[in-house]
């Protein structure tokens, strides 16, 4: 077994190296320029965006409006199956954030099995019965366990099950982050994404698991702004290009000038370029979306429309009037952080009753969060998201 693990930094063309450096710069700037109180709400929103696109790639037709409400979905097995997938994917991301995998362990068999298990564990039985052929023969998928059958995906025949242990051991050694420095971790992220897909360790769920892996790997690789932007959005907005890039990297070596491994080095180079270009496109999009001046302008327009009862949500609902002072509350929470109700009352110069009523309406609409006597905090409501963050879906 021999696979080229990644395009080494000293072999990467100058323009590719420059692109990686630019990605790292833009990622750091995005994190620094995003107001601290907005970071957590945005990262929570991006889990939903991530889930929408990662599942869309696999054929899930759930609409964005339904994705935004997926976490309130019943866990009843009779509930919408597509929404159940979305819900499980969002929850898997949350658990992997709340109980993170050590950065050095991300590439281990145990860690990758956990990513798969986080998505599938607790799924109704019908999600776990994987159809093998036209005769409807099925096999039961066990969350987190590597496949015990040979499979074929399109034209690609992944390694047989008896070789998975060897390949996954190689994968761990090739991509351990403590072995890569400079721009190499980002180049490794691109290669690791393809190689994990190519190995195809599970009977099902390899795509979503691979993208969860890439999310964790990029964050651990030093891209501190990751989570304020997402690769799955880039992959999912042009699924055909994503699959084509993966397919090119699947090609076997074309002679002695195309590397020394099983697979084509030129194919890996093309996929690496695709991956970095996609990352740059996404970080630029989210940087423009969260640019302070334009974001403030959209906030102003949103609350002006709300004051006039002129705001119509994406589903045609006319939202009730909201006092213009709500704009000042929102901006204060956005740019200065959580505030006590008394502080908000002083800011607005309103009496206690009016302030309480305003905050209650904002809470009901999901614009703020309140918890007893704790400070009021910023929240992103379903109807504000579609206006404040255009073209997100």
Annotated binding site: 204-211, 242-243
Residue 54 main-chain phi, psi, to 5 deg? -65, -40
E strand or H helix that includes residue 91 = helix 81-98
d(CA 370, CA 340) in angstroms, rounded, equals 10
Burial class from Cβ neighbours inside 10 Å (0-12, 13-18, 19+) for residue 64 reads middle
CB atoms within 10 A of CB 89: 27
Instruction: Report the chain's C-alpha Rg in angstroms.
Output: 23
What the block records as the tokens of 59 is 């054929």
Please, which residues bridge with residue 140 across strands? 129
CA atoms within 13 A on the CB side of 270: 17
Residue ranges of the binding site for ATP: 204-211, 242-243
Instruction: Say if residues 186 and 219 touch (Cβ distance below 8 Å).
Output: no
Catalytic residue list contains 200: yes
Residue 260: CB partners within 8 Å, gap ≥ 6? Answer: 2, 4, 253
**What span, in angstroms and rounded, lies between the C-alpha atoms of 115 and 125?**
19
Q: Which of 181, 200, 336, 383 is catalytic?
A: 200
Q: Which residue, 192, 191, 197, 199, is CA-closest to 158?
A: 199
The three-point CA angle 207-199-119 to 5° equals 35
Q: Name 318's bridge partners.
A: 312
Find tokens 């691109």 and name the residue: 190
Catalytic residues: 200
């Amino acid at each position: 077994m021999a696979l080229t693990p990644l395009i080494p930094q000293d072999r990467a063309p100058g323009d590719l190296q420059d692109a990686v450096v630019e990605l790292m710069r833009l990622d750091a700037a995005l994190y620094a320029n995003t107001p601290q109180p907005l970071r957590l709400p945005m990262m929570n929103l991006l889990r939903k965006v991530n889930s929408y696109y990662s599942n869309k790639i696999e054929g899930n037709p759930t609409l964005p409006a339904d994705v935004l409400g997926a976490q309130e979905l019943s866990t009843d097995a009779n509930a919408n199956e597509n929404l159940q997938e979305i819900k499980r994917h969002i929850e898997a991301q949350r658990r992997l954030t709340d109980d993170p995998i050590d950065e050095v362990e991300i590439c281990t068999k145990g860690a990758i099995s956990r990513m798969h298990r986080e998505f599938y564990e607790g799924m109704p039985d019908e999600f776990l019965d994987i159809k093998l052929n036209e005769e409807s023969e099925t096999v039961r998928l066990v969350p987190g366990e590597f496949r015990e059958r040979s499979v074929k995906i399109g034209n690609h025949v992944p390694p047989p099950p008896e070789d998975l242990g060897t390949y996954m051991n190689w994968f761990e050694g090739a991509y351990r982050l403590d072995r890569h420095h400079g721009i190499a971790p980002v180049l490794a992220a691109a290669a690791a994404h393809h190689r994990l897909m190519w190995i195809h360790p599970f009977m099902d769920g390899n795509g979503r698991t691979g993208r969860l892996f890439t999310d964790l790997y990029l964050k651990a690789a030093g891209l501190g702004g990751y989570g304020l932007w997402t690769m799955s959005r880039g992959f999912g907005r042009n699924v055909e290009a994503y699959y084509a890039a993966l397919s090119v990297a699947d090609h076997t070596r074309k002679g002695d000038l195309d590397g020394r491994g099983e697979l084509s080095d030129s194919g890996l180079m093309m996929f690496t370029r695709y991956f970095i270009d996609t990352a740059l496109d996404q970080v630029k999009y989210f940087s423009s979306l969260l640019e302070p001046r334009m974001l403030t302008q959209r906030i102003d327009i949103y609350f002006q429309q709300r004051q006039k009862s002129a705001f119509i949500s994406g589903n045609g609902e006319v939202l009730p009037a909201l006092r213009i002072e709500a704009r000042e509350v929102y901006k204060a929470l956005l740019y200065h952080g959580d505030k006590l109700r008394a502080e908000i009352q002083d800011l607005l110069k309103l009496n206690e009753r009016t302030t309480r009523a305003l905050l209650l309406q904002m809470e009901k609409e999901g614009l703020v969060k309140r918890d007893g006597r704790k400070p009021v905090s910023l929240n992103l409501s379903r109807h504000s998201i579609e206006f404040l963050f255009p073209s997100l879906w």
